[in-house]
Amino acid sequence: MSNEQKKPDQELVKSMRQELAKGGDKAVERRYGPEARGSAEYAEAQRQRRQAQARARSQHQRAAEQQRGPAQGQQQAKVQAEKDARSKQQRQSERERVIEARKQQERERDASLRR
């Protein structure tokens, strides 16, 4: 087997990739026949198409993240700061309740000792 037989025909790959984009597997079958789906060119066209789709999704995601970037970051920081403040306030309230309960116990103990 020579190198040329191992490598898919790039023109055919390109054409199949275009057909896949137009109408998917059925478009390739209509143009090249059902046996084309088993070819190396078809497999390569699908691989390239998946790569292109992944790149497009990634670019779209990055663009969306950049659009909401600073504003969303500030909003998240504000929400986190509010959560932290509530948590601190709850801890402080709990401490005060514990201290008050201990003082009450001491008063009750002292009162019972005086009797």
The mean of the pLDDT values for the chain is: 87
Give residue-wise pLDDT tens across range 56-93: 988 988 888 777 766 666 777 888 889 899 988 998 98
The domain spans of the chain are 3-114
Q: What is the pLDDT of residue 64?
A: 80
Q: What is the pLDDT of residue 22?
A: 92
CA distances from 9 to 12, 35, 36, 45 (A): 5, 16, 13, 10
pTM of the shown model:
0.53
